Structure 1
Amino acid sequence: MSIRAQNAKMVGKLLVVAAGMFAFGYALVPIYEHICEALGINVLAVGEKQVPGTSRAAANTQVDTSRLITVEFDANARGPWHFKPAQASVQVHPGQLATVVYEFQNVQNRKMAAQAIPSYAPRNSAAHFNKLECFCFNQYTLEPGEKKEWPVAFVIDPRLPKDVTTITLSYTFFEVGAKVPAEPTATTATPEPRS
């Protein structure tokens, strides 16, 4: 057998092996699903299936529907810009995901970098106020006149003390890297000589 014939035979075998590997990889997902379903291993896949007589969306069992917490929003700006919440307050159940938006506008005629720092009242509510998304996590650079809307997504931990019915979330927005004004210099009067 010539070398050319041996090479052609080898290429044919390699093509069959490559096609078999592709087919096996393609069939692996359905095979895996059938094996997991038969053995009851993949709990998520079983839970996602539509069971007759049940609703499609599973209820969040971590939401405490017996309580309502009022969350008030406050904004303080340390500089010449506009910063405010889009709404003054919301009422949420502990464990319920809520999202609010804060509006910001750089009204200066120059680019600025800024960041927000949160604070909570009452103080013991801070440990139970879990922010999933917040503009306070980062610094932002805004062009002159640029407007932004930033979301705050949060969940109040159901272990929040029962006596807390209102939480105030306050942000102070300040410029980062701004020039700090010089301290005022004290002028001392020189004593006049006595005669």
Structure 2
Amino acid sequence: MNLRRENVKMVGKLAVVTAGMFAFGYALIPIYKHVCEALGINILAVGEKQVPGSSRAAANTQVDTSRTITVEFDANSRGPRKFKPAQASVQVHPGQLATVMYEFQNVQDRRMAAQAIPSYAPRNATAHFNKLECFCFNQYVLEPGEKKEWPVAFVIDPRLPKDVTTITLSYTFFEVGGKTPPAPVAEAPAPHGKAPS
């Protein structure tokens, strides 16, 4: 009988501990929110709120609106396929997110696997051109006549040198595993005084 009473007591204590843990876990989110707001830690939550006396949310302070960079787009393709940017250029501020589409069509009568390789001009802009999404990250298989549109989402780092006002992003699209003609072989020069036969 005494053992039974002890077991009931223990189950009661465990039930109280379990209820307390559940209540603490449930209250943890509002507690965290209030502590972060009081200390100014949760920057995203604070940035999404309306500023008193303002009619809009706080602006993204990472965008340098004092500068405008022209980004030009170029497309090169080796082989019978159509590849081009949807627009020739855009103007962006450093730190501003921009997205541009590239159009591709496999005009061959067979399936192909292809990939794009980017290059930048001027060269010192390469480290400051940050692609968040790009078709150049993957290889693609396209059926005969298939058309695709792919995005390039990018941000130009505000630390881009001040003398750079135009960046050219160029892609070369090539077939993966396709037949590439061999490089030309240079003929050996003829010995002095003898004409080649």
Give TM-score scaled by structure 1 length. Answer: 0.77
Deviation at 1:42, TM superposition (A): 2.6
State the 1:154 CA deviation: 1.6
Q: Could you say which residue in structure 2 is the equivalent of 1:58?
A: 58
How big is each residue's C-alpha offset from its partner over 1:33-69, in whole Å with a ceiling of 9 and x where there is no partner?
Answer: 334445x253424444433213443223333323322
Query: In structure 2, what residue type is equivalent to 1:81?
Result: R
What's the counterpart of residue 104 of structure 1?
A: 104
Give the conservation status (yes or no) of the 8 Å contact 2:51–2:57.
no
Mean Cα displacement is larger for which, 165-174 or 152-161?
Answer: 152-161
SS at match of 1:94: coil
Q: Determine if the alignment matches structure 1 residue 119 to structure 2 residue 122.
A: no
Distance 1:43 1:20, change over 3 A: closer
SS in 1 for 2:173: strand
Cα 1:21–1:153 shift into 2, 3 Å: same
Partners of 1:160 and 1:25 in 2: CA distance: 46
Distance 2:124 2:35 in 1: 50
Sequence identity percentage? 83
* Unaligned runs of at least 5 residues, structure 1: 187-195
Distance 2:13 2:91 in 1: 68
Question: C-alpha displacement at 1:184, in angstroms?
Answer: 7.7
Structure 1 pair 41/119, CA: closer, same or farther in 2 (3 Å)?
closer
Q: Tell me how far apart the structure 2 counterparts of residues 68 and 41 of structure 1 sit (CA, whole Å).
A: 32
Question: Is 1:42 aligned to 2:41, yes or no?
Answer: yes
Q: Distance in 1 between the 2:144 and 2:55 partners?
A: 50
Query: Counterpart in 2 of 1:167?
Result: 167
Cα-Cα RMSD:
2.9
Task: Structure 2: state its 5+ residue gaps.
Answer: 187-197
For the residues of structure 2 that align with 1:133 and 1:23, how far apart are their CA atoms? Answer: 42
Change (3 A) 1:42 1:161: closer
Q: What SS is found at the alignment partner of 1:167? A: strand
TM-score by length of 2: 0.76
Is the counterpart of residue 85 in structure 1 residue 85 in structure 2? Answer: yes
The superposition leaves residues 143-181 of structure 1 with CA deviations (integer Å, 9 ceiling, x where unpaired) of 333222111112223333444332221110001122334
Matched residue count? 185
Worse-superposed segment, 75-84 or 106-115: 106-115
Matched, 1:72 2:84: no
